[in-house]
Amino acid sequence: MAYLKVNSITKQFGGLVAVDKVSFEVEKDEIVSIIGPNGAGKTTIFNMLTGVYGIDSGEITFDGTPIHNTMPQNIVDIGISRTFQNIRLFPNMRVIENVLVGTHIRTKYGFIDTLFRTPRYKREEAQKTLRAIEILNSIGLGNRINDYAQNLPYGEQRKVEIARAIATDAKIILLDEPAAGMNPQESEELLRFIRELRDKGYTIILIEHDMNVVMNISDRIYVIDHGKKIAEGLPADIAGNQQVIEAYLGGVKKDA
Amino acid sequence: MDKNLEKGKSKNFILILESFIEKYKVPIAGVSALILLGLPFMGFSQYIMRIFIMIGIYSMLALGLNILTGYTGLVSLGHAGFYAIGAYTASLLSLKLGANFLVAAIGGAVLAAICGLLVSLPTLRLKGTYLSIVTLGFGEIVKMILINWDKVTNGTLGLKNIPRPSMFGLKLTLVNNGMYYLMLVLVALITLLCTLLIKSKIGRAFMSIKEDELAAIMMGIKTTRYKALAFVISAFITGITGAFYASMIGFIEPNSFTFDISTLIISIVIFGGMGTIRGMFLGSAILIAFPEVFRFLMDYRFVVYGLVLVLMMRFRPQGMLGWKSQMPYKLPKLVKESLKKNNKDNLKTQQI
């Protein structure tokens, strides 16, 4: 049984079929990439996985339990967290506060604990703050915890988003174009970090356009075009796949 | 370039100011407390003392609205409604059932909070201006009910002879400054409540909703629940303030709670600095004292008043005290201790 199993999911917006009977599987401790040209439906798939959109047909199961058409909050609770294509941090909050918002769902103290500053409040608040600092240190933002998120350069904002996703104690992390807008050196660093995450026991699903990143890091790749899955396999297979090249480049000359 | 330089300078200034306050916070707090406690003995007239109390009342109202608008980002234009519910409920409880002030005030606040919950439920999906219009409607509905429900509210004639609070057998009045001290106690309690709430996961959830609601949802925050909570807390604080106002002024009628009151509260919140607690006090001090101080301008003072608001929005849209703290994040005590311990351990291992 696959860890995350997506079985023939479909999403329609009016007459447009954004995602058409797409199936894929992700095993534990794996890095799986979803690639495809702009508008292929990759982000829609992420939105369906995280509960932003319901699905029109098909099913999504995580560790054997169906998770489609439930509230996004429940899906985070089950252990799937994501980042966004266009960064969505809390810009006027500090970096550490952003990450602490990520720990929110694992923080159990309530209203009364808050008002009376009970030992439970103190203990949990301390635990979560330490956890947030630990995550930020591991991602290389240890010196930035006091800064406001909006004052960080682009690459570091992406890292804060990843840190925030980790802070939810996610088992699967969905990264939506994490290398977008990064220079080669930064994306190299990101590659290393994503591998480290996998080695620590996180499962990663990646949407990415940077082929250098995708080919280097992925255990397996799924290719989506016009809402349909057109190929799947190991990076080497995908790089030579005729259909994929056509989807990206609009066909090749026969005599070439 | 120049603008950036200026920005850097003002940041530095804020940092210096904040470190100064942090360094001398005990003496500063002590002196302010002494001044506030000693005000009645400084020979101010009844009239001036009454203005001080009004400033306190509006500070509380602003603190209440600030939870909703400043932190959670939900703009309410109907807080006069909650204010009225608190005032009427408390007054009726003490007039008809002879309840003492504390019981009546809590009753008023609880009913206001329940109404806050009722308003929030159908509006949770509304955003921005749409929500504001609904709350505006709520304020008007409350007023209409107060006017037309004669049997209970006495209609446009209003409620008279609302008893003053008495505590430990002492009747608190304006003359013996009991009302002033009661105001101080209430302001202190509400400030404490707001501070405790904001510096917790609840406060962070509020702020994350204001900053980016979708991102907050994707972090697993039950945004509908927190929005309702913000409404309830905000209405509760406003309700308590209403109860206090009624017993201070002794007479309330539906026209004491018009749309003007709602706009005044939101002006204070914006003027002082949305999403700050310090700003609420300065905001209400300036906006409440202004029309009184400039009485010599007669009716022109409202022109100046409007002009001040316009200039303010042009040159300082974040509010008078609406800066973001430049001090490092305040870590919980336990965290500081464990970090210190870690550092020590690291040093030890290095030495070995």
- Rounded mean pLDDT, B168-196: 90
* Residue B17: CA count within 13 A, CB half-sphere: 11
Which residues of A are less than 8 Å from B333 in CB distance? Answer: 122, 126
By residue range, what is the domain housing residue B178? 46-321
Q: Is A40 near chain B, with CB under 8 Å?
A: no
pTM (2 d.p.): 0.92
Name the strands in the sheet holding A228-233, side by side, starting at the edge strand that comes first in the sequence: A80-82, A172-176, A203-207, A31-35, A220-225, A228-233
* Closest residue of chain A to B233, computed from CA coordinates: A111
At B316-329, the pLDDT tens digits run 888 888 888 888 88
Nearest to A88 among B201, B214, B338 (CB): B214
Contact state of A104 with B219 under an 8 Å Cβ cutoff: yes
The residue among A92, A146, A88 whose CA lies nearest residue B323 is: A92
Which residues of B are less than 8 Å from A90 in CB distance? Answer: 207-208, 211-212, 215-216
Domain ranges within chain A, ordered by starting residue: 1-79+170-256, 88-169
Distances (CA, A) of B286 to B37, B180, B270, B283, B301: 20, 19, 12, 5, 13
- Rounded mean pLDDT, B43-66: 94
Q: What is the pLDDT, as a whole number, of residue B3?
A: 54
- Rounded mean pLDDT, B230-241: 97
Domain assignment present for B2 = no
Q: How many CB pairs under 8 A join A and B?
A: 108
Contact state of B218 with A76 under an 8 Å Cβ cutoff: yes
* Closest residue of chain A to B196, computed from CA coordinates: A115
Domain assignment present for B1 = no
Q: Domain holding B97: CATH number?
A: 1.10.3470
Listed range (B50-64, B188-202, B279-293, B298-312) with the worst mean pLDDT: B298-312
CB-CB contact of B256 with B86 (8 Å): no
Among A73, A98, A148, A169, the residue to mutate for chain B (most B Cβ within 10 A)? A73
CB atoms within 10 A of CB A143: 10
CB-CB contact of A27 with A63 (8 Å): no
Minimal CA separation from B328 to chain A, in Å: 5
- In this model, does residue B344 exceed pLDDT 80? no
Contact state of B204 with A115 under an 8 Å Cβ cutoff: no
Distance in angstroms between the alpha carbons of the first and the last residue of chain A: 43
- Rounded mean pLDDT, B100-111: 95
Within chain B, what is the greatest distance between any pair of CA atoms? 84
Name the strands in the sheet holding A16-26, side by side, starting at the edge strand that comes first in the sequence: A16-26, A4-13, A57-62, A65-66
pLDDT band (50, 70, 90) for residue B339: confident
Contact state of B196 with A102 under an 8 Å Cβ cutoff: no
Which residues of B are less than 8 Å from A73 in CB distance? Answer: 217, 220-222
At A183-210, the pLDDT tens digits run 888 888 888 989 999 999 999 999 988 8
Q: What is the pLDDT, as a whole number, of residue B1?
A: 45
The residue among B249, B266, B258, B347 whose CA lies nearest residue B309 is: B266
Residue B106 CA to residue B292 CA, distance in Å, equals 31
- Rounded mean pLDDT, B301-318: 84
Residue A36 CA to residue A25 CA, distance in Å, equals 17
CATH superfamily, region A1-79+170-256: P-loop containing nucleotide triphosphate hydrolases (3.40.50.300)
The pLDDT > 70 percentage for chain B reads: 95
B1-10, B149-158, B245-254, B321-330: range with highest mean pLDDT? B245-254
The residues of chain A scoring below 50 in pLDDT are 256
Right CATH for A88-169 from 3.40.190.100, 3.30.43.10, 3.40.50.300, 3.30.360.10:
3.40.50.300
Domain assignment present for B187 = yes
Q: What is the pLDDT, as a whole number, of residue A252?
A: 56
- Asked if A1-79+170-256 and A88-169 have one fold, the answer is yes
CB-CB contact of B279 with B272 (8 Å): yes
Which residues of B are less than 8 Å from A97 in CB distance? Answer: 204, 207, 329
- Rounded mean pLDDT, B30-44: 91
- In this model, does residue B347 exceed pLDDT 80? no
Nearest to B332 among A109, A125, A168 (CB): A125
Query: For residues B42-54, b (16+ Cβ closer than 10 Å) or e, as one string?
Result: eeeeeeebbbbbb
- In this model, does residue B179 exceed pLDDT 50? yes
Total domains present in chain B: 1
Residue B134 CA to residue B142 CA, distance in Å, equals 12
Angle among Cα B119, B122, B126 to the nearest 5 degrees reads: 100
| Average pLDDT for chain B | 90
Among A129, A141, A175, the residue to mutate for chain B (most B Cβ within 10 A)? A129
SS3 label, residue A150: helix
DSSP A227: T
Minimal CA separation from A198 to chain B, in Å: 21
pLDDT band (50, 70, 90) for residue B270: very high
Q: Which is more confident, B327 or B31?
A: B31
Domain assignment present for B111 = yes
The residue among B235, B238, B190, B240 whose CA lies nearest residue B90 is: B240
Which residues of A are less than 8 Å from B205 in CB distance? Answer: 101, 104
